[in-house]
Structure 1
Amino acid sequence: MLNWSKKMLSKYQITILFLLFSFYCNSQEKNDTSKKYLQYFNLTREIPYLHLNKTNFIVGEELWLQAYVLNQNTKKLHQDTANLYCNIYNEKGEYKQTKLLYIKDGVAANSIKIDSTFTENTYYIKASTNWMRNFIEDEAFLQKFNIIGNKNNTKKTIISDSNYDLQLLPEGGHLVESTNAVLGIILKNKQNEGVKIKSGTILDDKNNIVRKFTTNQFGLGKIKFHYKPNTIYNVKVSTFDDEEITKLVSPAKKNGITLNVENTDSTFIKLKIQTNNETLKNNIGQKYYVYIHNTVSISKSSFTLKKNTNTYNFFLPTKETPKGINTITILTEDNKPVLERLVFNYDESLFSTISIKSTTKLNDSISIQLNRNNNDVQYLSASILPEETKSYDFENNILTKFLLKPYVKGTIEKGSYYFTNINQKKLTDLDLLLLNQGWSKYNWHNIFNNTPDIKFKFEKGITIKGAINSSVKDSTNIMLFSPEENLIINTPIIKNKFSFENIYLRAFSNISFSIQQKNNFLKPKVYTTFYPKLNKQNINTTITQKHFYQNKKLDLNLDSFIGERVILDEVTLESKPKKKNTPTRLFASRTSYKNTDKSYLRRRGIISFLTSKGFRIVGSFPNQVIYNNRGVSNLRGNKGAATEVTLDDMPIVTQDQNNLNLISNMILDDFEEIIISKNDGGQIYLYSNKERKASTKNLFQETTTSLGFAKEKTYYKPNYLSTNNSIFKNYGAIFWKPNIVINKENYSFKTPHLNQKTIRLYIEGITNKGAIIYEERVLTIN
């Protein structure tokens, strides 16, 4: 049975629950605080996360990654994100390079070659979008990775006067005399890792032991004690290496209110607000507002200080409180925040799981089958490393990045612990973590005064802006042509300028421009600029710890770890066999016409030729349309069935587009082969004559894109000379599998085992409903 406060009537308790629930459902109320809050978070926010295959690399390897972008408002994969910048910086934060990823349905995969230009020991990879620059809070993904074996490779050792850093954080933000205080505690070592204490005590100014306490394995704990007026307290801890650390507790306020949270009941989250008699002397009738918010919704209740009432209890129903992280803030009537606390409302729907049904060894590889445990679509990526790996050390995983980091300011150690095999102890430890994080990262001054403006646009592709170096009539079309991207588009020229916006182009693609004028194409002289411009600003990687560092050499000999490319003393060049023209879609009944045929009339126009083969061309340049006269629809009196035309494997005439004008003025000599099928509407495949391609230079101006999306590679194994030594087992990689989509019962893939008896499998991802997936398994190879 819940321990309801004796100072509160049952009717008032019910009213509080109803107000919290009804306000949550109708969060667009007219209260200025709620209105400001909702305005501040009105614009959609992106949260990117990169799943890297590992964090320690050797020159010659590849950094493989899969990007996931979350919509903070919907808590699902962001369906509108397109441009994601993955920037590399050195240890000082100096810009090195950029990979621009094309995000489709919230996901993208790519890689970065760790080549000889990676000469330093430490680098950072950052993932962000242009749109994210509109917000004060930085949600960019940032992860450090190391290059092992570089010259003068060092490991950082921290030097300081003490081996430990003891931190004390009052719950809610401050303590008040004559109230039951809760003091958060965290002990960290030189490596900024939490350390369990051997024993702990809090002492008053007469050196009396007030309370004994301990911490969990991460050095997190809390101390409950009654704060007596005009008393000074000290916290003393002993470590397992017998070092004693003492720290003064910040003096309590003479008057005010405090906030304590109990989050151990699955039905309610209890808020206990206390004050003292000193406060009540002059503040009877003082009103406070209690807000529960999570950037998407905000709920409100209130209380008023009453005579002889020092404790005010609130109970939040977990079923009606938003799942995941919530922030509890208490504000005065003039909107001054005085207390704040983060809480996590656990719900199974936040997570999803997969199971591994079987692993079968097949010669030099094994087959892994992943089974989903519900009907949600799962988007996953998998890193397979040696079982003894020391190369999977991330500041955040997908769980902490999406569930915790958008709300907390500090670091989260071993984040996967809290959400793997969840039980009451882990939820208690998570609450300790949030208690010691202090206030949320969202500053109330910004919420009230700095509603985000759209200064940086939402990028959805590449934009090419250009100018024509000649006088061209307005509304004349300029065409952009890229066989590599299956791209044919046009746009009007206005005052000798044009713009192609939000198009998909990969880096270093070949593109051509031509002006469509009267009955022909003309080669323009254009000057182009590609957008967006890359942000090459450096970043701040300053270590915030109050410690000093010295460098210690790592003794690793990697000279014979990854083999060099073989360079032959003598190479005999042989001409490559000519690639056969192979239509992608063609029926059995087809005819081929080659420029080597005696009957091939090289000077004949292509339109005349196609007409002689039973096709009808209707209209005049540039609006000609082609039909198959002999198609079945012609028997019904129509013009003929629609015909598909493909030029060098790029569709130029389909049901959705008509660019027949690209070939209207060409002759047969412009093609080395023409393949025709008369089935249905007919298919025409045209293959350019490479020897005559120079003749089209007077029609097109060609260039190479200076900016574009990175091309995705297929995973390849580095040339490891040995997979049995300790260097490989600690720092090597076995396999990387991105782009896993489980939309049926299961998904299978093969991975090499590289003669390992056991392998470690890391799987991260998210479902179409926003449930997070994180699995770490050790598989024994039978």
Structure 2
Amino acid sequence: MKIYLILIILLFPPALFAQISISGRVLNQNDAKPIANASIFISNATTGSSTDAEGKFSLQNIKPGKYELVISAVGFETDTRPVNVSGTDVSLGDVRLFVKTNSLKEVVVTAKRDPNRQRNYELFKDEFLGSTPFAKDCEITNPQQLDLDYDYKTNILTASTFDALEIKNNALGYRLQYILKSFTLDFSNPANRSFSYAGSVFFKEMEGSPSQVKQWQKNRQLVYEGSQMHFLQALLNNKLDDEGFRVLRLPVNMARPTEATIISKINAFNILKDDDKKYRDSLAHWKKLYEMPRFQQKLSVFPLTANDLVRATKETGIFSLGCNLDALFITYNKYHRFPKNIPDKLSDPSNTDNTVLIFNEPEVQFDSNGSLINPDALVLDGVWLRPRIAGLLPLDYEPPKNEQLIATQKLLQSLSEKLSTYTADNVTEKAYLHLDKPYYAAGDTIYFKAYVTQGEQHLLSQMSGVLNVDLVGPNGETTRSMKLNLNDGLAWGDIAIPDSVKQGTYHLLAYTNYMRNTGSDHIFNKTVPVLNSPAAVGAIADTRHTPPTKPVNATSPARPKFDIQFFPEGGNLLVNTKAVIAVKAINSSGMGIKVKGIITDSKGKEIAGFTTGHAGLGSFTLNAEDNKVYTAMVNLPDGSSREFALPKAENKGYSIIVDNSDEKEIKITAKAGTDSPKDALLVAQAAGVVYYSSPIHANKPLTISNDKFPTGIVQYTLFSAAGEPINERLAFVKHNNNLKIGLLSQQQKYTPRQAVVIDVKAGDQSDEPVSGSFSMAVVDENKVPVNESAESTILSNLLLTSELKGYIEEPNYYFANNTTETRRELDLLMLTQGYRKFVWKQVLSGTHPANALKPQNGLQIAGYLKDLKDNPVANGKVRLMLRDKGTLILDTLADSKGYFVFDNLAFTDTVGVVLQGYKPNGGRDIKFILDNASTPVHLDHLSPDTAFTEAELAYLQTSKQFHTEQQRTGINSQVKMLKAVTVKAQKKAPELEFSQNKNGAGNADFIITSKQIENSGIRNLYLLLSSRVPFVEFTSGGEVYSRRATVGFQNDRMQMLVVLDGTAMPNSKGFNYLSQLYTDDIESVEVLNGTHLGAVYGPLAAGGVFVVTTKKAKKGVYEKYKPGTFSYRIPGFYKAREFYSPRYDAPNINKQNKDLRSTIYWNPNILTDAQGKASVSFFNADTPGNYLVIMEGIDGNGNIGRQQYRYKVE
């Protein structure tokens, strides 16, 4: 809806009025008698008076300017006249008022006869008072003055008054006398109704208590900030940016005629339409033109300044505002967080900052006092449309000049700017993997799609082009590692699970090089149960929360360990302050448990009680007294009871109480200890962007609209007056504004092997179609039951778990069940989990270290050039040659530290690499130390390991049946992997034929051959050996030591020597040559742990020996080690395999084969078109049951969504 601006615009606040007066006398036009108690006021200001018994009046302290003077009296027509005030007093002489021809009594009688008056009055009031929260605090005390008329033919409501409306604004502390000259509400176009009004208004300050006056002043400031008045004042003072405004040009649509031309044509052809068909066709044509957008939706890039918008006219004190008929898109945000695009609907309540200013004429003129010369020239749409009378401030309103308040605002602005700087320097990348199913068995393949986003809006990342994906085993060993080529933040791949895989809880990791700056806690980490051991079949657990069974010491009976933690809301438990205390109860595996407890004081008196529920979370309230100790007596799941001490209550400190039980608004209350100052500052930020800040006083709640924040975690932080962070509280804001994904099949019931077509329709929260990228998995729920609450989804990951520290149990529980109870439990989660984004003290210091690792756009080969004494070779030359698929030669120079890098490489599969290094003088006596940045990350902590559920154990049998059938028919043969073996016999294995072991081939403590390495999924030899070789220590620093080696006299240890194809390779501190070798090149590795076999290699072998034989040595083409040359093989981008989905187009095709698939369909690359539509098709398996379709995805604006759909196969 649009509003045509016919009110007086408010501009310069008249600081101190000069000693100038306006005087005169008011008389009755009929008999020239004086009119007493007539009202005289300057329109839209608080300056006014009334006439005395002789009809005289005088307005004092008027600032020079151009005004509209309003003179009114009961029973008389209102007189309005312009008054020019210059440097001298103004005398108006006698002002004569005409008696009204209509009487109030007649109006009242007529109004009572209108049965629809109350309906019309409500329509009038809603539009006239506005739609801000303050509108409900406005009261029209004399509605009988209104003359309302609704024309049902035109659907237009009009209104006027005979005398001034009396309006009491209890929110701003003003009494208004409003003389309504005209009011029109046009419903003729329901999709775009229009509204206009005109009148004069006089403001009078209300009297109230000191606390009321203070609240009124605060509310006035809230109304002023970002208002039309604020904008115009900032504009004329050339402080748009300083005050938080951005103005962008919205270019006019040149294909559309002007508004005036279209309206005149429509009016003309409306009259002629009945005379001839051609006029009706012309009318339809011009109506079609009217529906065209007036402006292009593409905003200008550069903000406009006051010099671009305002110019002085020939008349002194008169200014023009315009932009060549282009509209102005005006945004206010004191934190300078501006949108990139125009909101779809400016009238939507979620639009809290944006207004479009439309010009019906080239310019609108106004004077220095804010009076519009041509008010019909403007049309508003957006935020400025809402305040109306409820948000109207007088012309002489001045923002507070309180020095303390100004200092506070500057401090809050400084906090916001520092966080903005930190966020800009530390853009967040997040990775999420959508898997085809939640658990797997030996021989399965994990299919996944990667979504990588950047920034607080979750836009698809344009920063990184490489994604690392690792599969980590139950003991923390990396069993598979690959690199994926990201294209606009998207990629997909697969991991084949060998049939000899170790059973347990695996971890699937996904991360970019840039994400490693913040450690392993910030990478994507999903637990993946993998089953294989036949012994596990009988060990059925009821839930995944049950800890795994472990051997028990007979002399010391095992007893489950439990931990109960208590978290006072806002961090501190304060004396004599009622507080919510969250409880988290976990078992020894870190999983939540249900317990019941009571709270007692020092005297043993029961004070409160609690029960934990989902994820072991619960809460109770406590009003702690000074010098009392509180204890929790908890009944544990094993039947025992234990006491736990509660945190001590303090007299000093702060806490934050957050009430977000209302979905529309949040109430924040600060609590201060008796020994702490009562004033503080509140800053609310989400994803590194400040969305709200304000001074806050202890025990005085602040109410904040939920619309101010995006969906996700909001961090509320209290700061002291000095700007030091003193407390924080997390809360989750949920708008339910995710993508709406519609999934529809042609029928609900199918037969085995029948073709299924699923139509997709994706839209945003406004049901507008979106183009996006999606992935879809279809599983047989009878074989793979899915616990929706336990799933890691695109919603739970990007909005919740990626923002919190620690393991989150069943994260999707809080999204799959949107109830009052789950919202309460989600709030308890906020109280018990730490925020992982940043620490305020680090932000405020401004000394946060720069990110050492930069985003990678392609594959990278990097390292250091060093001489044989381990000194860096500065400015050395490095040549790279890639072989196998043609030859690529690249050259680069090392820096002053000897560091070199070849970046933005792109190739698939594994290729041969030859590096040649030269000193600046051409010397070749140098070596390469390759950068290990591509080494898989090391997890500091594994998430809790749990027993397999009954459904997961049942799936093991289902999977075995499937793979048995696959092997029988020769489809998707399983991956084989043999265990490493210790060689006892003297017979030489074929893989050892070319070994140059000086003890004789095969004479070693431990041997691994190429057959045992095949399909391990581990490319780096160092990583492979670290997970296979016994009695050898592989340190986190990259060094390797034998636990059976002799320790030197100075208690020092020597690294194990690497002998490569008969040549001893140098090791150094923090480096071992094994890390430079890739398993694809290895024929065999012989491990010599003790001195009995290593002695033949001399003193360098005192720490043990790795005898490595390469495949090139086997072929007799291996190039012997040359100084300055280094050869190895490097894996490229992984090329994803296509999911095998059989077709049953013909009735008898593959009829002899059983189709026992559990994953029926997987498609990682579904793209919706401009209408938000897509369609997929596949064939059912042979097994009847319930089939579950899960689809996830993202659009170009960072909106995410997930949807489930079920159908039955009979």
TM-score (norm 2): 0.44
Give yes or no for the alignment of 1:27 onto 2:335: yes
Q: 2:744 aligns with which of 356, 374, 379?
A: 356
Give the aligned partner of residue 907 of structure 2.
505
Question: Paired residue for 1:709, among 1115, 1133, 1151?
Answer: 1133
Alpha-carbon contact 1:20-1:301 (below 8 Å) kept: no
- With over 3 angstroms needed to count, the CA separation of the structure-2 counterparts of 1:202 and 1:494, relative to structure 1, is closer
Are 1:755 and 2:1143 an aligned pair? no
Return the offset for 1:440: 5.2
Q: State the match for 1:265 in structure 2.
A: 662
**Residues of 1 paired with 2:629 and 2:217: CA distance?**
38
Change (3 A) 1:41 1:711: same
Q: Does 1:115 align with 2:513?
A: no
SS of equivalent to 2:433 = strand
Partner of 2:577: 179
Match of 1:344 in 2: 732
Match for residue 1159 of structure 2? 733
CA 1:559–1:69 in 2, change beyond 3 Å: closer, same or farther? closer
Q: Aligned equivalents of 1:109 and 1:96: distance in 2?
A: 19
Aligned residues between the structures = 603
* Aligned pair partner of 1:327 in 715, 722, 736: 715
| Aligned partners of 1:200 and 1:214 also within 8 Å | yes
- Deviation of the 1:311 alpha carbon: 1.3
Q: What residue in structure 2 maps to residue 409 of structure 1? A: 805
Q: Find 2:685's aligned residue among 293, 297, 302.
A: 293
Superposed CA offset, 1:665-685 (max 9, x none): xxxxxxxxxxxxxxxxxxxxx
Aligned residue in 2 for 1:680: none
CA deviation map 1:632-660 (0-9, x unaligned): xxxxxxxxxxxxxxxxxxxxxxxxxxxxx
Give the corresponding residue for 1:40. Answer: 422
Paired residue for 2:603? 206
**Structure 1 residues 200, 767: CA separation in 2 closer, same or farther (over 3 Å shift)?**
farther
In 2: Cα distance, 1:108 partner to 1:188 partner: 37
> Equivalent residue for 2:701?
313
Q: Taking structure 1 as reference, are residues 532 and 185 closer, same or farther at Cα in structure 2, changes over 3 Å only?
A: closer
Question: 1:392: Cα distance to partner?
Answer: 5.2
Structure with the bigger RCO (C-alpha within 8 Å, sep 6+) is: 1
2: CA distance, partners of 1:116 / 1:190: 31
State yes or no: 1:562 paired with 2:963: yes
Contact 1:67 1:107 in 2 (8 A): yes
Whole-Å separation in 1 of the counterparts to 2:714 and 2:892:
53
Partner of 1:74: 457
Q: Does residue 11 in structure 1 map to residue 216 in structure 2? A: yes
Alignment of 1:61 onto 2:462: no
1:615-764 matches, within 5 Å, as 706-716=1130-1140, 732-743=1158-1169, 744-764=1172-1192
**Cα-to-partner distance string for 1:728-762 (whole Å, 9 max, x where unaligned):** 89xx5333222122224242221433322212333
Secondary structure of residue in 1 paired with 2:910: coil
Q: Which stretch shows the higher mean deviation, 62-71 or 31-40?
A: 31-40
Q: Which runs of 5+ in 1 are unaligned?
A: 467-476, 514-526, 569-702
Query: 1:564-615 CA distances to partner (integer Å, 9 max, x unpaired)?
Result: 74699xxxxxxxxxxxxxxxxxxxxxxxxxxxxxxxxxxxxxxxxxxxxxxx
Q: Quick one: distance in 2 between partners of 1:339 and 1:548?
A: 39
Which residue number corresponds to residue 431 of structure 1?
Answer: 827
Choose from 365, 381, 401 the match for 2:775. Answer: 381
* 1-structure distance, mates of 2:810, 2:1181: 28
Match of 2:934 in 1: 534
CA distance in 2, matches of 1:78, 1:370: 28
Superposition deviation, residue 326 in structure 1: 0.8
Whole-Å separation in 2 of the counterparts to 1:759 and 1:388: 8
Letter of the structure 2 residue corresponding to residue 417 of structure 1: Y
Write out per-residue CA displacement over residues 158-199 of structure 1, whole angstroms, 9 at most, x where no aligned residue: 7964565322111111111011111112333555443455x5
* Identical aligned residues as a percent: 23
Residues 390-437 of structure 1 show CA distances to partners (whole Å, capped at 9, x for unaligned) of 575767322121001232213322222222353444323322221222
Post-superposition offset of 1:455? 1.6
Question: TM-score, normalised to structure 1's length?
Answer: 0.66
Give the letter for the 1:10 counterpart: Q
Residue 209 of structure 1 aligns to which amino acid in structure 2?
A: E
Determine if contact 2:578/2:624 at 8 Å carries over to the other structure: yes
Pairing of 1:219-258 with structure 2 (within 5 A): 219-238=616-635, 244-258=641-655
Q: Work out the CA distance in 2 between the residues paired with 1:465 and 1:201.
A: 60
Cα distance in 2 between the residues matched to 1:492 and 1:189: 57
The structural deviation recorded for 1:291 is 1.0
1:169 to 551, 563, 567: 567
SS in 1 for 2:515: helix
Larger relative strand fraction = 1
CA-CA distance at 1:114 after TM superposition: 0.8
Cα RMSD for the two superposed structures:
4.6
Quickly say closer, same or farther: Cα 1:16–1:777, change in 2 above 3 A: farther
Please tell me the residue identity of whatever aligns with 1:385.
V
From the superposition, tell whether residues 11 and 135 of structure 1 become closer, same or farther in structure 2 (CA, over 3 Å). farther
After TM superposition, the structure 1 = structure 2 runs for residues 435-450 of structure 1, keeping only pairs within 5 Å, are 435-438=831-834, 441-449=837-845
| Cα distance change, pair 130–233 in 1 and its aligned pair in 2 (3 A) | same
Paired letter, 1:249: L
Question: Residue by residue, what CA displacement relative to the aligned partner does 1:207-247 show, whole Å, maximum 9, x if unpaired?
Answer: 33323444444442321232222222233455788655543
Q: Deviations along 1:504-537, whole A, 9 cap, x unmatched? A: 3112369999xxxxxxxxxxxxx99999962145
Report the CA distance between 1:65 and its aligned residue.
0.8
2:1194 and 2:1201 in contact (8 A); partners too: yes
Change (3 A) 1:439 1:401: closer
Contact 1:53 1:64 in 2 (8 A): yes
In 2, the alpha carbon distance for the partners of 1:426 and 1:19 equals 38
Q: CA deviation at 1:713?
A: 0.6
The amino acid that maps onto 1:369 is: I
The offset of 1:48, in angstroms, is 0.4
Task: Report the counterpart of residue 400 of structure 2 in structure 1.
Answer: none
* Deviation (angstroms), 1:83: 0.2
Q: Contact 1:180 / 1:227 at 8 angstroms: preserved in 2?
A: yes
Q: Which has more helix, going by share of residues?
A: 2
- SS of the residue corresponding to residue 548 of structure 2 reads strand
**Following TM superposition, by how much is the alpha carbon of 1:389 offset from its aligned partner in structure 2, in angstroms?**
4.6
Give CA deviations for 1:16-64 in whole Å, capped at 9, x if unaligned: 8579988892326775433332222213221001112234322221111
**Greater alpha carbon shift after TM alignment, 115-124 vs 178-187:** 115-124
Are the equivalent residues in 1 in contact too, given 2:729–2:831 (CA < 8 A)? yes
Looking at structure 1, the residues matched to 836 and 559 of structure 2 have their Cα atoms a distance apart, in angstroms, of 31
Instruction: State the shift of 1:715 in Å.
Output: 0.9
Q: 1:102: Cα distance to partner?
A: 0.9
Report if aligned partners of 1:125, 1:143 keep a CA contact under 8 Å in 2: yes
Match of 1:659 in 2: none
- 1:695-748 Cα shifts (integer Å, max 9, x gaps): xxxxxxxx99733110111112799x9989xxx89xx53332221222242422
